[in-house]
Structure 1
Amino acid sequence: MSEDYDLVIRARSAVTPEGERPAAVAVRDGRIAAVAEYAAPLRARSDVELDGAEVLLPGLVDSHVHVNEPGRTDWEGFASATRAAAAGGVTTIVDMPLNSIPPTTTAAGLAAKRSAAEGQVSVDVGFWGGAVPENTAPGGVAELKKLHDQGVYGFKSFLSPSGVDEFGHLTAAEFRSAAEAIGTFGGLLIVHAEDPGVLDAAPDAAGRDYASFLASRPDEAEHDAIALVIETARATGTRSHILHLSSATALPMIRRAKDDGVPITVETCPHYLTIAAEQVPAGATQFKCCPPIRGAANRDALWQALGEGLIDCIVSDHSPSTPDLKDLATGDFGTAWGGVSGLQVGFSAVWTEAQRRGFALGDVVRWMAAAPARIAGTAGKGRIAVGSDADFAVVAPAAESTVDARTLQHKNPLSAYDGALLRGVVRATWLRGTPVDPDAPRGRLLTRG
């Protein structure tokens, strides 16, 4: 093969859809033009050979990130979030529609979001829309179609209060209306599934004891809400995605639904897979998130479901805030903001635990790159294959590092992983065939399709 390319990356180990193998990956015009044998005679303007301890992965895809800009940019912003993504091997994120002001529930909200992001993103960024009471009522449904036509990847809804007043949750009837409307144009409905009635009946969280918070968000809340998601997807045929699954009690009915052909997919998050409730220290509100981190046996069941393909993907649910909102001085789990900040360290956290459980890098790539790209519909992402974008993460899978929250690229130095010794160091990130340079952001704003 003597064709000229812009770039060839040669890796003793590359994770491709066909498996992990030596490869020479050729790039032209920002896309992968060839995947050949390691020593193939490919001519390029730049020929890069990776260290023998490094593995070439496709750039990871994180389809669940709360950037919060505009409106709450002191929590996180596009510049800091995308720098953190790149440092963690993530080359594509899809931004959640809430915690920013305005939320992405109207075409005007989407325009504000895109305007805020323009020119400051180090990786590629897509956007979810939101399904809220205002745009699921008969007079507002046209706004959902408008957002779809303008390229959002789908619509997020809450079945319980979201935590911010400007993004309301849907009743069961409103959720059914949203599913019916979104199904008419082939859209995707993604769901924060906790049942508000179960949450209202549970004891209130208070104080420094994590067990009190865990009791306030029982498994039944997820179980009952997921049952509604499945029932609605079965009745309407609308593609539906269950966000941040934490409770393993829902797995049997998810299995039955998938076996029946109900169009549902499921994600979980690094913190549910790598941390157990028994390990959360008193007052450590950096571990608070909704739904909550549950016990070690539950964590084991989530890993088993991943191995079986019942859970489709792993995404960060990066949901940061300023330290004062975490009530660190009191450590009160009842009043602290809920959200784990983990965008930059997600890969290393998952790989550390996955390797310990006997999984391979190819499994992690499937869960954290190919599957989220497929579910969200970020075309050309998540695979080292001809025609895909030349987005890569160069990792040293055996290297270890200790997380120091103060050195992470996140805007606020607060992380549930602070002090953790993790395996798998990201040494370089490439976007469309060019190394990511946070001082010269080259990310693009993506639209569905």
Structure 2
Amino acid sequence: MTYDLVIKGGNVVLRDGVYNVDIGIKDEKITCIAETITDDAKQVIDATGQYVMPGMIDTHVHISEPGRTEWEGFETGSKSLAAGGTTSYVEMPLNALPATINKKALDLKLEAAENQNYVDYAFYGGLVPENLDNLKELADAGVLAFKCFLSDITSEIPEDFINVDDFTLYKGMQKLAELDQILCIHAENASVTSGLAKEFAREGKNSGVEYAESRPIFTEVEAVQRAILFAKETGCKLHLVHISTSEAIQTILKARTEGVDVTVESCPHYFAFTAEQVDEIGPRAKCQPPIRKAEDQARLWDELMNGNIDWLTSDHSPCTEDLKQGNLWEAWGGISGAQNNVDLMFDLAVKQRGLPVHKFVNLIATNPAERFNIAHKGEIAVSKDADIILVDPNESYTVKREDLYYKNKHSAYEGRKIDCRVTTTIVRGNIVFNVERGIVGEPIGKLISTNE
């Protein structure tokens, strides 16, 4: 056999550990894993000294095309994902206009995404008060899951995204349970956080710690409890997005013991920064839920290291630079993070804290693939898509604005030194990023199907 690509000499991360084996790729699939591959290959990569692992599946990405393409488009967003070691992503139903709350809007997004992506992609459908009758058409059209907000999200713009009320949450969960769909939830108590934000702003409380105190831990826990209660009543499958506190995770773990089908994600920024550091970074580090205080972050680290967080996502939420001006009340809330997921968390969790590498792979690839039924991705195994990244654990670099692929080149990680590096990203056997060459070739990303 002549392979399209062979990766030789690397430390290959399989389900149960790390092995020094070769990987043979043909027709976009992994076709051979062996101690040594001696057959011919059109291309050979020497991965000596590097970890070879499945590419990240980032299930929480905001691309603002169409409608707000000046914030982020599919081309720039997927380039940044590729450079960061992500080989597949799932795009959220908000920030673009119109929001993905009906099939017509989904079709616009599908058309906009075609031939622009450097990595594979899928879409969420939204749940909002006005679209209960549109959930089935979105599910039939192939959205991977659904998303709603319990936190306050309002807009005067027609066809923009808004948060659900409790009736919509209940009825939506009923319908999604019937459709066997997962509902992903942004869990914060809208009334309390909105009231505290106005109160703190009036009083001139603008520090990073004060911003965290305006969205206290109990507001996340209460919303998680409410979502779980509704899930018990309806039988809807849940996924809690960007959870920032140990208290909320413990609530989720308790619900599992009571039979609730629920998973949980968190994001690198909750592990990389503390509220005490936000003032130095400024509004680039503003997000919801907020960056937590150091003592709270320490407990979140315990949850990650103890295996209580199912996977990691970027929650890449970009915007134009002018929207990041002003104080923490005025600036847009969202962190541009798609390009620094794998390297940052590999450094923090694996190198600095000793997380086994195969467990790290579960956090970035295997677990989300299994939860969202993406059977052909998520691990290095024969017959899987050849979505593979190389990570050099001994190469350090500093995040610089000029190296970012975002449409708007700002990031909370600017100036941060990271002690490892993604050197190569391969999507279905095609090299799309190399650290020396940058982005390689033309967009080859495809829409993800769960039927393969």
Q: Same fold (TM over 0.5)?
A: yes
Matched, 1:262 2:260: yes
1:120 equivalent in structure 2: 116
Which residue of 54, 62, 65 corresponds with 1:66? 62
CA spacing shift, 1:426–1:203, aligned 2, 3 Å: closer
Matches within 5 A, 1:37-436: 37=35, 39-41=36-38, 43-136=39-132, 140=133, 143-162=134-153, 164-165=155-156, 166-204=160-198, 205-206=200-201, 208-281=206-279, 284-327=282-325, 330=326, 332-354=327-349, 355-436=351-432
**Structure 1 range deviating more: 179-188 or 194-203:** 194-203
CA spacing shift, 1:30–1:201, aligned 2, 3 Å: same
1:440 equivalent in structure 2: 442
CA spacing shift, 1:283–1:380, aligned 2, 3 Å: closer
SS of the residue 2:407 aligns to = coil
SS of the residue 1:231 aligns to = helix
Note the alpha carbon deviations across 1:86-145, whole angstroms, 9 max, x for none: 101101011000000011110001000011111111010110110111112xxx2xx111
On the 8 A contact 1:380/1:387 being kept in 2, the answer is: yes
Provide the TM-score with structure 2 as the length reference: 0.93
CA spacing shift, 1:224–1:70, aligned 2, 3 Å: same
Shift of 1:439: 4.1
Which letter does structure 2 place at the counterpart of 1:431?
A: V
SS of the residue 1:289 aligns to = coil
Which letter does structure 1 place at the counterpart of 2:329?
A: G
CA distance in 2 between counterparts of 1:266 and 1:392 reads 24
On the 8 A contact 1:122/1:438 being kept in 2, the answer is: no
Shift of 1:381: 1.4
Shift of 1:312: 0.4
SS of the residue 2:33 aligns to = strand
CA spacing shift, 1:409–1:163, aligned 2, 3 Å: farther
On the 8 A contact 2:13/2:358 being kept in 1, the answer is: yes
How many residue pairs get aligned? The number is 437
2:435 equivalent in structure 1: none
Shift of 1:164: 4.2
On the 8 A contact 1:10/1:25 being kept in 2, the answer is: yes
CA spacing shift, 1:167–1:10, aligned 2, 3 Å: same
Note the alpha carbon deviations across 1:375-434, whole angstroms, 9 max, x for none: 233331120011210011111012111001232011111111010001221111111112
On the 8 A contact 1:150/1:447 being kept in 2, the answer is: no
Shift of 1:251: 2.5
Shift of 1:151: 0.7
On the 8 A contact 2:11/2:52 being kept in 1, the answer is: yes
CA distance in 1 between counterparts of 2:45 and 2:67 reads 44
CA spacing shift, 1:439–1:74, aligned 2, 3 Å: farther
CA spacing shift, 1:162–1:281, aligned 2, 3 Å: same
1:34 equivalent in structure 2: 32
SS of the residue 1:25 aligns to = strand
Note the alpha carbon deviations across 1:145-188, whole angstroms, 9 max, x for none: 11111110011001122354511111112101111100101111
SS of the residue 1:45 aligns to = coil
On the 8 A contact 1:209/1:282 being kept in 2, the answer is: no
SS of the residue 1:202 aligns to = helix
Note the alpha carbon deviations across 1:321-343, whole angstroms, 9 max, x for none: 1110111xx3x111100001010
Shift of 1:228: 0.8
SS of the residue 1:281 aligns to = helix
CA distance in 1 between counterparts of 2:373 and 2:284 reads 31
Note the alpha carbon deviations across 1:205-253, whole angstroms, 9 max, x for none: 4364222321221112111100011112222221100000012221222
On the 8 A contact 1:11/1:56 being kept in 2, the answer is: no
Q: Percent identity?
A: 38
Which letter does structure 2 place at the counterpart of 1:188?
A: I
CA distance in 1 between counterparts of 2:74 and 2:139 reads 22
On the 8 A contact 2:208/2:277 being kept in 1, the answer is: no
Which residue of 3, 6, 10 corresponds with 1:5? 3
CA RMSD of aligned residues (A): 1.6
CA distance in 1 between counterparts of 2:424 and 2:177 reads 40
CA spacing shift, 1:335–1:163, aligned 2, 3 Å: farther
Which letter does structure 2 place at the counterpart of 1:427?
A: T
On the 8 A contact 1:315/1:372 being kept in 2, the answer is: no
Segments ≥4 residues shifted beyond 4 Å? none
Provide the TM-score with structure 1 as the length reference: 0.94
Shift of 1:4: 4.2
